[in-house]
C-alpha cells in the first residue's frame, strides 16, 4: 500500500516538509495550496524537488466553493479553477481535491450542483486533470459522503470521483459501511485522520484537534476495512490538522505519522484476514516484568524501598545495578547513567513471544535500543518509547532468567507483598499523542477514556492504557508546558495499604504530606467512619470510592523525578483516584517549593 501525507500536517516551509516526508519513508504527498503560495520556489522547482526525493505529488488541494451557485458566480468560479489547473500542470500533478461548498452555495437543487460539477470536470479534462470531490462535514448542502456520491453519479464524468476523508464521515456519525457500495474506480483518494471524542462544533474539531490514526476515538481500522473492501487501491494519505503537530519538529512528526499508517495498515489487514504486508503479530503484554529507576545516586531510593518493606534481592554481577522486590513487583536501580537525577528509565513487559513483540515494534518503526551487555547476561529485545523510556520484552508469564544475574540478596520472610498496579509515564505536551500511539501500536494496549487533572501549573491530560485483563496499565500523562518535567511514578498494589503504610512509618518513612482540608472534605463526601478517617489522616493516605468498590492510596516523597504510590483496590474499584490527583499535584508543588507554612 502506498503511503501519502498532506503537507498541512507538518510544521515548517514547503521544502522542509517535503524533505521530512521523504526521510520518513512516504511515497507521496498532498500539497496544500497555502504551502505552495508561501514558497519562494516555483511550481516547476517543487516538482523537481519531489522527483529528486522520490515523492509523487498525489494531489493538490483544495478547490473550494465551486458548485451549487448562481450562473454568474459559477462563470467566475470556472475562471478561478482554470488558473489552478494551469498551476497544477506546472507542478506536474493531475488530481485536485474539490471541497463541497461551505460558503457560497445558494442553490439547493442537486441537478444544478451536478451540472456545475460536470462543467468543472470538462474544463479539468482539457488539462488532463481529475477531480476528487469531498463532502466536508460542515458543507452547506453537501456534508455527507453519500450525497457527494450521488452528485458524482449524476454528473457522470470519467474524471470526476470522490475523496473520502474519515474525519468528515466519522465525526458526523455517518455509517461508513455504505462506502462498500461505491464503484472502486470512483474512489479517487482517501484521507485518514483520527480525532478525540469532543463535544465541539465540527469545524473547530476538524481544524485543530485531528490526530494520527491510533491516537483518538475513531474506529479507523473498521473504516479502512470498508474502503479496502470497496476495492480502493490508491494511497493511504494522512490529513491531520492539529495545533500541536503544526509546531513540533517536522522530521519527528513525519516519522510519527508514518508509524501510525504502518500500524493502521497492519491492523486493517489483520481484521480483514489479509496476509500481504503484515507485520509480526502484536504481543499484548501479560504482565510487568520490572520497572527500572536510573540515575546518578540512588541511595535515597534504596532507603525508601527498604522502609516500604521491599526485599533487597541482590547486586548485578557486573554492573552498578541492584534489584529490589516486593512479591511480584521488581524494581531495578541502575546507577550507570552519570549526571542524571533518578527517573523511571525503563520498563520490562512479559509477553508470549518477546522476539515477535520486538519485530512487530520494529515493523512499525520504533527505534531499537542497543544496550551493552556482559557475556552470559540475558539480552532482552527493547525499543525506545517516544520520550526515550526503554521498553524491554521477556517471554512470560514466568519470570525471566535475568534475575539469576543478581546475587547476594537478603531474603525477607515478612517483606512487602505487592504487584505493579500501574506505571505513570508523563510526557512533555508535544510527545503525548505519539506516546498514546506507541501504547496502542507497539505495546498492544487499549486506551481508556481520557481525563484532565487540574494541577497548580496547568491541566494534566491523562489517558490510561491497559491490557485487556488490566495486568498492565500505563497512565500516559501530558505535562503542561509550564511543568515539562513533572515526576513519573510507579504504583504498587498491596492487600492492606493501611498496614503497609503504618509499618513503613515505623521504619522511618514519611509519606507526601496531605492537607487537612482534604480530610475534612473526605469525611463529608463519604460519611467515613471517624476512626478510619483519622487513621488515613494520621498516615497521609488518600481515599476514593466508586460504584464498584473503594481505593486507599498514598504517595512517597519525590526523589529527583520519581516517586512511588502504594495502592489498595477494594472489591472492583476500577479507577486511579482521579479526584485525589489534583491534591497530589498541589502537595508535590508545595513540597518542591518547601512552602509548608506561610
Ligand atoms: O478544513 C478544510 O478547509 C479542509 C480542507 C481540505 C480537506 O481535505 C479537509 O478535510 C478540510
Ligand atoms: Mg479532507
Residue 238 CB–ligand 1 contact under 6 Å = no
Residue 65 CB–ligand 1 contact under 6 Å = no
Which SS3 state, helix, strand or coil, does residue 44 take? helix
Q: To test the ligand 1 pocket, which listed residue (5, 65, 131, 136) has its Cβ within 8 A of the most ligand atoms?
A: 136
pLDDT tens, position by position, 107-162: 999 999 999 999 999 999 999 999 999 999 999 999 999 999 999 999 999 999 99
Separation of CA 10 and ligand 2 centre (Å): 15
Residues in the chain where the model's pLDDT stays below 70: 372, 374-375, 399-400, 413, 595-598
Which homologous superfamily does the CATH classification assign to the domain defined by 287-597?
A: 2,3-Dihydroxybiphenyl 1,2-Dioxygenase, domain 1 (3.10.180.10)
Grid cell for residue 32: 496544500
Segments of 388-499 assigned E as strands: 390-395, 406-408, 419-428, 446-455, 458-466, 473-479, 488-493
The residue whose grid cell reads 503511503 is 3
CB of 330 closer than 8 Å to CB of 289: yes
Residue 191 CB–ligand 1 contact under 6 Å = yes
Residue numbers belonging to the annotated binding site for Mg(2+) = 422, 489, 565
* Distance between CA atoms of residues 195 and 448, nearest Å: 15
Residue 134 CB–ligand 1 contact under 6 Å = yes
Residue 144 CB–ligand 1 contact under 6 Å = no
Grid cell for residue 205: 474539531
541-547 contacts at long range (C-beta below 8 A, 24 or more positions apart): 541/497, 541/498, 541/501, 541/511, 541/514, 542/514, 542/518, 542/577, 542/580, 542/583, 542/584, 543/580, 544/573, 544/575, 544/577, 544/578, 544/579, 544/580, 545/573, 546/573, 546/574, 546/575
Residue 100 CB–ligand 1 contact under 6 Å = no
Residue 30 CB–ligand 1 contact under 6 Å = no
Separation of CA 134 and ligand 2 centre (Å): 7
Residue numbers belonging to the annotated binding site = 134, 165, 191, 239, 422, 489, 565
CATH number of 3-272: 3.20.20.150
Which SS3 state, helix, strand or coil, does residue 71 take? helix
Separation of CA 91 and ligand 1 centre (Å): 20
The reported pLDDT for the residue numbered 398 is 74
Torsion of CA 577, 579, 584, 585, to 10 degrees: 120
This prediction's pTM: 0.93
Report the atom number in ligand 1 closest to the C-alpha of 207.
1
CB of 560 closer than 8 Å to CB of 342: yes
CB of 168 closer than 8 Å to CB of 138: no
The reported pLDDT for the residue numbered 507 is 95
Residue 61 CB–ligand 1 contact under 6 Å = yes
Nearest to 162 by CA among 179, 148, 144: 148
* Distance between CA atoms of residues 176 and 60, nearest Å: 25
Residue 140 φ then ψ, to 5° = -65, -55
Which residue has its alpha carbon closest to ligand 1 atom 2?
A: 207
Separation of CA 318 and ligand 2 centre (Å): 56
Separation of CA 89 and ligand 2 centre (Å): 22
Which SS3 state, helix, strand or coil, does residue 197 take? coil
Ion ligand 2: residues, Cβ under 5 Å: 165, 191, 239
Report the atom number in ligand 1 closest to the C-alpha of 206.
1
Domain residue ranges of the chain, discontinuous segments joined by +? 3-272, 287-597
Amino acid at each position: 500500500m502506498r503511503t501519502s501525507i498532506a503537507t498541512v500536517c507538518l510544521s515548517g516551509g514547503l521544502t522542509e516538509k517535503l524533505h521530512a516526508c521523504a526521510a520518513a519513508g512516504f511515497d507521496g504527498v498532498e500539497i496544500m495550496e497555502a504551502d505552495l503560495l508561501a514558497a519562494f520556489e516555483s511550481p516547476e522547482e517543487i516538482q523537481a524537488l519531489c522527483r529528486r526525493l522520490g515523492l509523487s505529488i498525489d494531489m493538490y488541494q483544495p478547490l473550494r466553493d465551486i458548485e451549487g451557485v448562481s450562473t454568474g458566480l459559477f462563470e467566475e468560479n470556472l475562471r478561478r479553477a482554470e488558473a489552478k489547473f494551469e498551476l497544477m500542470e506546472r507542478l506536474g500533478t493531475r488530481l485536485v481535491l474539490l471541497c463541497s461548498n461551505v460558503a457560497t452555495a445558494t442553490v439547493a437543487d442537486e441537478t444544478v450542483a451536478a451540472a456545475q460539477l460536470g462543467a468543472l470536470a470538462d474544463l479539468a479534462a482539457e488539462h488532463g486533470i481529475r477531480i476528487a470531490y469531498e463532502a466536508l462535514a460542515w458543507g452547506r448542502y453537501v456534508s455527507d459522503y453519500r450525497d457527494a456520491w450521488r452528485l458524482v453519479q449524476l454528473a457522470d464524468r470519467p474524471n470526476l470521483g470522490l475523496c473520502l476523508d474519515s474525519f468528515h464521515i466519522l465525526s458526523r456519525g455517518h455509517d461508513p459501511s455504505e462506502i462498500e457500495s461505491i464503484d472502486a474506480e470512483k474512489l479517487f483518494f482517501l484521507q485518514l485522520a483520527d480525532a478525540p471524542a469532543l463535544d465541539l462544533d465540527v469545524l473547530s474539531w476538524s481544524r485543530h484537534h485531528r490526530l494520527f490514526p491510533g491516537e483518538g476515538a475513531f474506529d479507523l481500522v473498521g473504516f479502512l476495512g470498508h474502503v479496502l473492501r470497496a476495492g480502493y487501491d490508491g494511497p493511504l494519505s494522512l490529513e491531520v490538522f492539529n495545533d500541536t503537530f503544526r509546531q513540533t519538529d517536522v522530521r519527528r512528526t513525519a516519522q510519527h505519522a508514518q508509524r501510525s499508517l504502518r500500524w493502521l495498515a497492519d491492523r486493517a489487514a489483520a481484521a480483514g484476514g489479509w496476509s500481504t504486508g503484515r507485520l509480526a503479530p502484536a504481543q499484548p503484554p501479560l504482565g510487568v516484568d520490572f520497572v527500572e529507576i536510573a540515575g546518578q545516586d540512588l541511595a535515597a531510593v534504596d532507603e525508601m524501598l527498604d522502609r516500604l518493606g521491599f526485599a533487597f534481592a541482590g547486586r548485578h554481577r557486573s554492573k552498578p545495578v541492584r534489584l529490589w522486590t516486593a512479591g511480584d513487583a521488581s524494581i531495578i536501580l541502575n546507577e550507570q547513567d552519570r549526571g542524571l537525577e533518578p527517573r523511571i528509565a525503563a520498563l520490562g513487559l512479559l509477553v508470549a513471544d518477546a522476539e515477535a513483540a520486538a519485530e512487530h515494534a520494529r515493523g512499525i518503526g520504533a527505534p531499537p535500543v542497543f544496550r551493552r551487555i556482559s557475556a552470559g547476561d540475558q539480552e532482552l529485545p527493547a525499543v525506545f518509547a517516544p520520550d526515550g523510556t526503554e521498553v524491554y520484552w521477556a517471554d512470560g508469564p514466568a519470570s525471566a532468567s535475568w534475575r539469576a544475574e543478581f546475587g547476594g540478596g537478603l531474603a525477607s520472610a515478612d517483606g512487602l507483598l505487592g504487584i505493579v498496579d500501574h506505571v505513570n509515564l508523563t510526557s512533555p505536551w508535544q510527545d503525548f499523542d505519539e506516546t498514546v500511539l506507541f501504547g496502542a501500536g507497539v505495546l498492544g494496549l487499549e486506551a481508556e477514556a481520557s481525563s484532565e487533572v487540574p494541577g497548580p501549573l496547568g491541566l494534566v491530560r491523562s489517558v490510561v492504557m491497559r491490557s485487556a485483563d488490566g495486568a498492565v496499565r500505563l497512565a500516559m500523562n501530558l505535562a503542561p508546558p509550564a511543568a515539562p518535567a513533572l515526576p513519573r511514578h510507579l504504583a504498587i498494589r498491596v492487600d492492606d495499604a493501611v498496614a503497609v503504610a503504618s509499618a513503613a512509618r515505623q521504619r522511618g518513612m514519611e509519606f507526601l504530606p496531605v492537607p487537612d482540608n482534604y480530610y475534612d472534605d473526605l469525611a463529608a463526601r463519604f460519611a467515613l467512619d471517624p476512626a478510619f478517617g483519622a487513621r488515613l489522616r494520621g498516615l497521609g493516605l488518600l481515599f476514593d470510592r466508586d460504584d464498584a468498590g473503594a481505593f486507599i492510596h498514598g504517595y512517597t516523597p519525590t526523589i529527583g523525578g520519581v516517586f512511588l504510590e502504594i495502592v489498595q483496590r477494594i472489591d472492583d474499584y476500577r479507577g486511579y483516584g482521579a479526584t485525589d490527583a489534583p491534591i497530589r499535584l498541589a502537595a508535590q508543588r508545595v513540597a518542591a517549593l518547601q512552602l509548608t507554612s506561610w
